[in-house]
Amino acid sequence: MSNVTVIGTQWGDEGKGKIVDWLASRADIVVRFQGGHNAGHTLVVGDQVYKLSLLPSGLVRGKIGVIGNGVVVDPKALMTEIDRVTGQGLVVTPETLWIAENAPLILPVHGALDRAREAARGEHKIGTTGRGIGPAYEDKVARRAIRICDLAEPETLDWKLDELLLHHNTLLAGLGAETFTKEQLKDFLTEITPRLLPFSCQVWDRLDEARRAGRRILFEGAQAVMLDVDHGTYPYVTSSNTVAAVAASGSGVSPSSVGFVLGIAKAYTTRVGEGPFPTELHDQTGRTLGERGHEFGTVTGRPRRCGWFDAVLIRRAVRVGGVSGIALTKLDVLDGLDEIFICIGYELDGQKIETFPSAPGAQSRVKPVYETMPGWKETTAGARSWAELPAQAIKYVRRIEELIEAPVTLLSTSPERDDTILMRDPFED
């Protein structure tokens, strides 16, 4: 029996929500280990649609949900989300939701700075959601973050707010934005403390107890490998590491606890926001993929840019992410296309290259090299076994496996939870 870690292998929005929800029914505990409320999962359960940003998806299945120390927590956003899902019938209490006491908080000053800097970038904006995630991670690294445990120590909180405001107000004033007073932040924290502190605990200790007891743990990543601050399309990335290795450090468990790493990939490619996208389609095919796939960001509502499957990027994600197997989603969106293209390499300044470059200028000049495959007219929507898939769809999946050097262990053929083809159970690996 193994734990499982789920990560995205593209630029996010790969359909992780459904996969995590499906796996959560087989787990005891579901852990968020990085990111903030700038990522979202949409879960469809019967006639209910749950949109989650901070809450672990396992709560929908009645499992224990954990927000690890690697997550930056906006307490207002968290409480709003708890109130919303509670109104939908979910039970969210300190017994069902554990939040790491050493998780950093996102304060109003962080969002203000995030938005002011993005506006100042002008045409060089990086596509941030403006929710303060980046500045909150900066404070963590600079050792001036306000953490949940600080809320229980007013004397500690007092001098830490002085240090934090000295830094942030200087930046805000320089950008011509409104500054904050200590009283404003104190009032904010005073309001949220009674609701937030009861959820706070030593997550690392509870997870170690669960591991020793043989309980199954599912680690749930946000964003995706190509948005990783080290391995993604820098600077058009998120502010945290998104690879599977962070499941350990971001929740306080040993590296050996990560278990089977399941990478999620769409049968095509999408991206929200700015940044390079070699296989992006600006034609009717791209619009068709977006319409069929309902491609709008869960958190931002922004339309996703759509393009062909990029095997080069996912092969990189497989290698740096330690991916054991792939869950391929939204195969049904490709139904009815005459031809399907797979990016198998790139051209850069007239030269063929086999990996994606790191420099932003080179990334913007990369041109995809495609392999063409015939499409299929039959429908794959709702298929629950290989026998129900068209022959050409099976060939497409098999070719993807060869190119990315990883097996497809799970196939999703619609947003419905049970429309899933399982080739290998990650928990039994």
Alpha-carbon distance of 311 to 400, in angstroms, equals 7
Phi/psi of residue 97, nearest 5 degrees: -130, 120
Residue 300 counted as an annotated binding residue: yes
CA 24 to chain centre: 16
Residue 117 counted as an annotated binding residue: no
Residue 316 counted as an annotated binding residue: no
Catalytic residue among 37, 140, 160, 168: 140
Tally the residues of the chain.
429
Residue 37 counted as an annotated binding residue: no
Residue 190 counted as an annotated binding residue: no
Residue 413 counted as an annotated binding residue: yes
Write the secondary structure of 368-399 as one string of H (helix), E (strand) and C (coil).
EEEEEEECCCCCCCCCCCHHHCCHHHHHHHHH
Alpha-carbon distance of 280 to 232, in angstroms, equals 17
Residue 14 counted as an annotated binding residue: yes
Structure tokens at 419: 């429309």
10 Å CB burial of residue 122 (0-12, 13-18, 19+) is exposed
Q: In the annotation, is 139 catalytic?
A: no
Residue 167 counted as an annotated binding residue: no
Residue with tokens 């500045």: 135
Phi/psi of residue 376, nearest 5 degrees: -140, 145
Residue 42 counted as an annotated binding residue: yes
Catalytic residue among 37, 41, 110, 231: 41
Residue 223 counted as an annotated binding residue: yes
Please choose, from the candidates 81, 7, 6, 67, the residue with its C-alpha nearest in 3D space to the C-alpha of residue 33.
67
Residue 271 counted as an annotated binding residue: no
For residues 169 and 147, is the Cβ–Cβ distance under 8 A? no
Q: In the annotation, is 352 catalytic?
A: no
3-state class of 108 per DSSP?
helix
Structure tokens at 121: 């970038």
Residue 13 counted as an annotated binding residue: yes
Alpha-carbon distance of 242 to 275, in angstroms, equals 17
Residue 118 counted as an annotated binding residue: no
Residue 302 counted as an annotated binding residue: yes
Residue 403 counted as an annotated binding residue: no
Q: Name, in order, each residue with C-beta under 8 angstroms of 220's C-beta and a sequence gap of 6 or more.
A: 6, 16, 20, 30, 31, 32, 33, 56, 57, 58
Residue 269 counted as an annotated binding residue: no
Residue 40 counted as an annotated binding residue: yes
Known catalytic residues are 13, 41, 140
Query: Which residues line the annotated binding site for Mg(2+)?
Result: 13, 40
Query: Which residues line the annotated binding site for IMP?
Result: 13-16, 38-41, 129, 143, 223, 238, 302
Query: Which residues line the annotated binding site for GTP?
Result: 12-18, 40-42, 304, 330-332, 412-414
Query: Which residues line the annotated binding site?
Result: 12-18, 38-42, 129, 143, 223, 238, 298-304, 330-332, 412-414
Query: Which residues line the annotated binding site for substrate?
Result: 298-304
